[in-house]
Structure 1
Amino acid sequence: MKIRFKAPSGGGTLELDDASTVDQLLESLKSSTGFADVTVKYGWPPRALTADQGQLSAQSLGLHRENLTVVPKEDASAAVAQNTPPVPEPTATTTSPAAALPGLQSSLRSQEKSKGQGIKDQNISVAMPETGSTLVLRVMPDDNSCLFTAVGGALRGLRSGPDESFTADSLRRLVVEHIRANPGKYSAVILGQQPESYCANMLRPDTWGGEIELAIISEVFELEICVIDVKTGTVYRVGEGNGYAMRCVLVYSNVHYDRIAEIFVEGQEVMEFDVTRWAADESSDHIIARAQEMCRKLKDEHHYYTDTSDFVVTCNECGWVGQGREALAKHSLGTGHTKISEIKDTGA
């Protein structure tokens, strides 16, 4: 079997026996990348292979269908630093949405805004002749609460009560209350930091939401949330298989969430009349397909995405080198360092 991977030194492919175990895969990756110790992530949300999976077959975990991310552990990062070309100047950085530092978030948001400048005025839409309607992109404000605002609009009318608008603030509180009510499920290992610290950060309006927040909102409202990655067109279905009756669709540019809506009057701008939920079965497959078509338009015509998975960065304060948003967020939160530069691919 062939297994693809990406590492700080670039991408590659391994040829392994079909019966190879996870331990054998890890050894092959270490040999190919030159690192003595690595963390290997797969799936969505990204999760790391663990020691207790060592004797499982790689195929049983579906790893032959994944593009694995290989990240050197802290004590192995020096090998990358020694072989990395000089960085001519600092560039935009990328962080984990749920745990990023405010300063780094602002840097990313500025980058995304410049790439998609004017996207809100482009009226991005795709005709759906099969239903005589139109799928439109509802662009969310650049205010660090785009995930909550995007989902909140899709929740409108789902419940009757005093807060039918489901504001970003109310959804932040809902997420925090759910985490506090389920301490066994949301431990420091899952959250990446102590639960109370995580909750305090999530209540701040300048903290991004991420995979954990989507999963909680999906569970609480019994709503499948389909997230389409603009860069790859991949559809991630949060809450799939739980028997939820309805689904909504979001568009993700790697640092920003927008909402997909269906309208039946051309040029309709009043969002209160949007259709934002559909049956979570094959009857709404055309919505997913048209939304993917829209994402291809966003990618090809507007370059409306930011790549946060393949980049390699270095800390200008201590010389640390790492790959991807999660590694950067962990380093920045652990050290307080924010002077980060991207190591550009020289193409050599």
Structure 2
Amino acid sequence: MEINLDTASVEDLQAMVFSFTEIPPALQDLKLGYPPRSLTLVPELPITSLNLKPGDQLTVIESKGSNAVGGGGISHSSKPMNTSGSSTTQRGPSSLVGAAPGANRKVPASAPPIRAPPPASAKPSSSGPERVSIRSGTLIHRVVPDDNSCLFSSTGVVFEQNMSAAPRLRQVVAEAIKNDPITWNEAVLGRPRDEYISTILKPAAWGGAIELSIFASHYSTEIASIDVETGRIDRFGSESGYTSRCILLYSGIHYDAVSLAPMPDAPEDFHETKFDVSDQTVLDGASKLAGALRAKKAYTNTATFDLKCQVCGKGLKGEKEARSHASDTGHVEFGEY
């Protein structure tokens, strides 16, 4: 398998893997070295972010819903890569951009924040929040408002039991980017630093992988984001050796929090939202929580939903086109057709 290590993106690599194995990018777990270690796949980053060398062998595992927490899988290929030539293969399904992708590394996906009203299809059932019983209590799906600040509100819930913390948490992001121009450079942010900072401070701007990476560092806690549609778990800050973990659910365009209640009807003040990273039962239970939402189709496939730029009226297909349009034009407000 040949790919240009100088010009290709991680998404190009995933597309090539898909063409060989028919494993969708969202379920690809690429392992390198011995003992094999999983690579962090951030579609929008250049392939150089993976530190691959000519002749490296990759093992491709179908992750069956999560490539971040291990588990069984089926090995489909182990082929050498070299730098002679570039990928021209047809792209397969793409990982979601600007949210969970970008985990397990210090520098996440380069994607300017965009804003759009979440569609009704992403909302959970009106019958009440989902819940899953585990040994230590009941995991609760903590729903936050669909107001474009859901990532910040969910972060406020899990770290401070405060759903109204979004404005201050936006400021935390802005200060982190301002104070670290090396990590948060223009290439990573996908736009000029000052522009990104001014945009993320606006109430209508969405957050994603960049913001989750910053919050993991700010709170010295791993953040596990579970994709409802695929079951994939992206772990922000996992490389830092933090001893605690919090959990978010991601529907494709909306984040909610996960908390552990001592009893199903216990007041939220008694809920636990930070867990020991060694407690696999909590993470497994949260995956079941995501599975219950998946069964209700409580997610949105951002690769295929139709959007309209509210500034110029251009029609767009999926979040990838929306982010490209935002980068090209500076337009960051979108609505769903």
TM-score by length of 2: 0.67
Q: Determine if contact 1:6/1:12 at 8 Å carries over to the other structure.
A: no
CA drift of 1:327 comes to 3.8
Establish whether residue 149 from structure 1 lines up as the match of residue 147 from structure 2. Answer: no
Deviation by residue 1:292-341 (Cα, 9 ceiling, x = unmatched)? 111111011x21111123669899x99x9987523421224423678999
In structure 1, the residue matched to 2:328 is: 334
The letter of the residue matching 2:139 is L
Note the C-alpha offset of 1:237: 0.8
Give 1:14 deviation, angstroms. 2.0
Partner of 1:18: none
* C-alpha distance in structure 2 between counterparts of 1:54 and 1:217, whole Å: 28
Change (3 A) 1:180 1:304: same
Structure 1 vs Structure 2: percent identity of aligned residues? 28
Of 14, 21, 28 in structure 1, the residue corresponding to residue 20 of structure 2 is: 14
User: In 2, Cα distance between the equivalents of 1:101 and 1:220?
Assistant: 23
Q: Map of 1:288-307 to 2, 5 A cutoff? A: 288-300=283-295, 302-307=296-301
After TM superposition, list the pairs within 5 Å mapping 1:12-161 onto structure 2: 13-14=19-20, 43-44=41-42, 46-50=44-48, 56-57=54-55, 59-60=57-58, 96=98, 99-102=112-115, 105-106=116-117, 109=118, 111=119, 114-117=120-123, 119=125, 121-128=127-134, 130-131=135-136, 133-156=137-160
Is the contact made by 1:100 and 1:333 (CA closer than 8 Å) also made in structure 2? no
Q: Secondary structure at 1:330's aligned position in 2?
A: helix
Shift of 1:291: 0.9
Query: Is residue 307–residue 334 contact of structure 2 (8 Å, CA) maintained in 1?
Result: no
CA offsets 1:254-294 (integer angstroms, 9 cap, x no match): 100001111012223x322110001112xx10011111111
Contact between 1:155 and 1:166, CA under 8 Å: does it hold in 2? no
- Residue 150 of structure 1, CA deviation: 0.6
- For the pair shown, the structure with the greater C-alpha radius of gyration is 1
Gapped regions of structure 1 (runs ≥ 5): 16-41, 68-79, 81-93, 158-163, 343-348
Provide the C-alpha distance between the structure 2 equivalents of 1:123 and 1:321, rounded to a whole number of angstroms: 34
1:135 to partner: Cα distance: 0.8
**Matched residues, number:** 269
Is the 8 Å Cα contact of residues 249 and 259 (structure 1) preserved in structure 2?
yes
The 2-side partners of 1:6 and 1:314 are apart by: 26
Corresponding position: 1:274 with 2:274:
no
Give structure 2 stretches of 5+ with no counterpart.
Answer: 4-10, 22-39, 68-89, 91-95, 100-110
Residue 181 of structure 1 corresponds to 179
1:331/1:286 CA distance change after superposition, 3 Å: same
Q: Deviations over 1:72-129 (max 9, x none)?
A: xxxxxxxx9xxxxxxxxxxxxx985663544xx12xx1x2xx214563542310111x
Cα contact 1:58–1:64 (8 A) shared by 2: no
Q: Which has the higher helix share?
A: 1
Contact 2:221 2:242 in 1 (8 A): yes
| C-alpha distance in structure 1 between counterparts of 2:280 and 2:249, whole Å | 16
Q: CA RMSD in A?
A: 4.2
TM-score by length of 1: 0.65
* C-alpha distance in structure 2 between counterparts of 1:172 and 1:59, whole Å: 41
